Structure 1
Amino acid sequence: MTASEVINLILGLLGFAIAILLFWSLPVPGFTSRNTDRLPFLSIIIPARNEEGRITPLLQSLQEQRYKSFEILVVDDDSTDNTVALAESYGARVLQNKGIGSGKSSACWLGAKEAKGDWLLFLDADTKFTSVDGLRNLLHFYQRKGARGILALQPYHTVKHLYEHLSIVFNIIVVVGMNLFTAWGSRFKAAGSFGPCLLCNRDDYFLSGGHQKIEGAIMDDLALGQAFLDQNLPVRCLGGRGTISFRMYPEGLGSLIEGWCKSFAIGSKSTHPIVMLMVILWITGSLTTASALISSIIDASAAAMIINGALYILYAVQTAWFARRVGNFKWVYFPFYPLFFLFFAGIFLYSFVRVNVFHSVKWKGRKIKV
C-alpha cells in the first residue's frame, strides 16, 4: 500500500472507532405504568403557527392518553390557516400571541403565564405520543429524578419519503451534539436541552427566566437549557423512542433545507470542542473511506478493494445503527451513506454562510436576523 492509502486507512479506522465513543448510548424513559405515585396537574403548552396540517396527530394522541390530569393550551402565533378552529375542536384552550411579539419563545412565555399546572410540558405541534402511557411514563421519570430542572426528549423521527432520509446525519449530530451521550456520560457540560418535548416544574421555569429570557434566540432549546444551567438547575436529555415521535419537514425538500439551515451552524457552537472534534473525525473517516474505495476500484487493486470495501461496510452498518436509534430510517438506503454525509456538509456550509455573511435565515415565511 502507498503512503496515502495507509493514511486513508488510518483515518477511516480512527473515525469508525471514535464514533462508537461519540454515540455510546441514548437512554429513553422507562415503562412505569404500575407506578401509583400521585402526579401534579400538568399544563401542556403548544406554540403553533400555521400547523393545520401537522397538529392533529398530537391532539389525537393526547386524547388517547390514560393519564388525564392536564390542560392543553395552544398558543396561536398569527396563523393564517385553520389551526385555531382545529385546536378548539379537540378541546384545547387557544391563546392569541398577537400584539406581544412573535415567534416560538414569546408564544411559550404567554402559555406559561396562563398555565394552571404545577408542571409545564412544552410540545412542538408536529410531535405525537406513540403510546397511551407515554405521557405518564414521561411524568413519572421526571418525578423519580426529583422533579427539578428540565427533562427534554428528542422525539423519534418518523420518515415516509426518500428525501427525508437526507436528515439522517443531522438527526444523529443533533443528539450527540448535546455532549451527553458519549462514553464519558455526563462528564461534558450539556449544550442545552432538546426543544420539541420539554418538561419542567413551574417554579424552576420562572426562576430561570423561562422563554422571556431567551426571546430572540434562534436555537431556543439550547438557550433555555443554558438559562436553567445558569441557575444550577439540572438539564436531562433522553431519546424519545417508544414515547414520542415527530415527522420533520413533511412539506418537502425545500422546507428540510430551510429548517436545518436555520438550526445547524448556530447550534454547533454549543457543542463541546472535544465532541465536535469527534464528529469531524467521524465525518472525515466516513468520506475518506468512500473515496479510498472508489480509488481502489479505479486502480483495480484487489487488496485495497477488499480492505476499503470491508471498512465501507462497517461505516454503512454503523451509520444505520446510529440512525435507527433516532428514527425509523430504512436499511436499504445505508449502502449509499456517503450521500447523507455530503448533504450534511453542504447544508452546514450553506448555513454557516447565511449566519456569518448574510446574518439572516428564513423559516416559515419569516426572515430572521442572526
Structure 2
Amino acid sequence: MTTVEIVRLVIGFAGMAIGVFMFWSLPVPGSSSKSKADLPFLSIIIPARNEESRIVPLLQSLKQQRFKSFEILVVDDDSSDGTVAVAQSYGANVLRNDGSGKSSACWYGAEQARGKWLLFLDADTKFDSEDGLSRLLEFYQGKGARGITALQPFHTVERLYEHISVIFNIIVVVGMNLFTIRGSKLKTAGSFGPCILCDRDDYFLSGGHQKIEGAIMDDLALGEAFLEQDLPVRCLGGKGIISLRMYPEGVGSLIEGWCKSFAVGSKSTHPLVMLMVIFWITGSFTTLGALVSSLVEQNPAAIALSGILYVLYAVQTAWFAGRVGNFKKVIFLVYPVWFAFFIGIYLYSFIRVNVFHSVSWKGRKIKV
C-alpha cells in the first residue's frame, strides 16, 4: 500500500474511534413509580404559526395522556391557515399574540399560564405513549424540580428526502456538549428547543423568552439565561417519550430550517466537541477515498482493510442515528451521501449567516 492509502486508513480508523468518544451515550428519562397525584398543575404552551397540518398529532397525544392535570395554551403567532380552529376543536385555550416570533409567543403564553410548571412544546411534536408526559414530569420532580429539563424528540421519517437530516440530527445532539465520554463535565451549549420543561418561578427569574427575544437559536439562549441564574439545564433524548417529524413540506423547508439554526448553533459547541465532530466527518470521507483508491489500483490488502473500515463506519453511523431517529438502515450503505448533504447545507448556512446576515423561516426574513 502507498503512504497516501495508509494515511487515509489511519485517519478513517481514528475518526471512527473518536466518534465513539464524541457520542458516548444519550440517556432518556426512566419510568418512575412515584404517584402522579404528587405532580403539580402543568401549563403546556404551544407556539404555533401556520401549523394546521402538523399540530393535530400533538393535541391527540395530549388527550390520551394518563396524567390529566394540565391546561393547553396554543399561542397563535399570526397564522393565516386553520391553526386556531384546529386547536379550539381539541379544547385548547387559544391566545392571540400581538408580538412576532416564537420567543414572543412563548413569553405571552407563560404570562397567561396558571401552572406551577411550564412545558413548552413545538407544534410538530407528539407524545409516543399515554405515560410519556408523566415520565417527563416524574423525572423532573426526581431531579428537584429546578431549572430546565429538555428532551430532543425522536425524529420520525417517512419519505426518502427526510433522511438528509440524519447527520444534522446526530450533530445537534452531540453539539450540546453533554453526550461525550466526559458526560456532564463540559458546560452545556444551552437547551434543546422542541420540548422544554421548567418551574414557573425559575422561568421568570431567568427572564424567560422575553430576555432572549430576537435570538435565532432561542433554545440555546434560554438555556444560557437559566445558567446565568445558577439554575440547572438537563438535556436528554426523547426516544420512547416524545417524537417529531421534521420538515414534511419538502426539501426546501428542510434546507431553510437547518440553515436557520446550524451555523449559529455550532458557535455554542465546546471546542473539544467541535474538534471531534470535524475529525469524525473527515474520517467518513477519507474512508470513502481509501476504498475508491484501492478499487482503482486493485490492491487486495487495501481493498480488504478499506472495505472493512467502510462497513464499520456505516454501522457506527447507523448506530448513532438509531439513538435520534427511525432512519432506515439501508441508507447507511451510502452514508457519505448524507455527510455530503450535511457539509453542503452547513456551508450554505454559514454563508447566509456570516455574509448576507439573514435567514428565512416560515415566510419571515430574520436578520442575524
TM-score normalised according to structure 1 size: 0.99
Offset at residue 352 of structure 1 (A): 0.3
Which runs of 5 or more structure 1 residues have no equivalent in the other structure?
none
Q: Equivalent residue for 2:329?
A: 331
Q: Equivalent residue for 2:277?
A: 279
CA deviation vs aligned residue, 1:157-180 (integer Å, no higher than 9, x gap) = 000000011100000000000000
Separation in 1, partners of 2:288, 2:7 = 14
Separation in 1, partners of 2:331, 2:354 = 33
In percent, how many aligned pairs have the same letter? Answer: 74
CA deviation vs aligned residue, 1:185-240 (integer Å, no higher than 9, x gap) = 11100000000000000000000000000000000000000000011100000000
Separation in 2, partners of 1:171, 1:87 = 29
CA deviation vs aligned residue, 1:14-48 (integer Å, no higher than 9, x gap) = 10000001100000011125535501100000000
Structure 1 segment 215-254 matched on structure 2, within 5 A = 215-254=213-252
CA deviation vs aligned residue, 1:273-307 (integer Å, no higher than 9, x gap) = 00000000000001110111011111111111110
Q: Is the 8 A contact 1:33 1:133 kept in 2?
A: no
Aligned residue identity for 1:10: V
Q: Equivalent residue for 2:172?
A: 174
Offset at residue 9 of structure 1 (A): 1.1
Structure 1 segment 198-347 matched on structure 2, within 5 A = 198-347=196-345
Separation in 2, partners of 1:23, 1:262 = 24
Separation in 1, partners of 2:135, 2:217 = 27
Is 2:118 the partner of 1:120? yes
Q: 2:193 aligns with which of 180, 192, 195?
A: 195
Aligned residues: 368
Separation in 1, partners of 2:190, 2:31 = 25
Aligned residue identity for 2:150: A
Separation in 2, partners of 1:88, 1:33 = 34
Separation in 1, partners of 2:224, 2:289 = 40
Q: Is the 8 A contact 2:44 2:121 kept in 1?
A: yes
Q: Equivalent residue for 2:183?
A: 185
Aligned residue identity for 1:212: Q
Aligned residue identity for 1:308: S
Separation in 1, partners of 2:349, 2:203 = 31
Structure 1 segment 21-36 matched on structure 2, within 5 A = 21-32=21-32, 35-36=35-36
TM-score normalised according to structure 2 size: 0.99
Q: 2:148 aligns with which of 141, 147, 150?
A: 150
Separation in 1, partners of 2:36, 2:68 = 14
Is 2:133 the partner of 1:135? yes
Q: Equivalent residue for 1:360?
A: 358
Offset at residue 97 of structure 1 (A): 1.0
Separation in 2, partners of 1:333, 1:153 = 26
1:346 partner SS: helix
Q: Is the 8 A contact 1:172 1:326 kept in 2?
A: yes
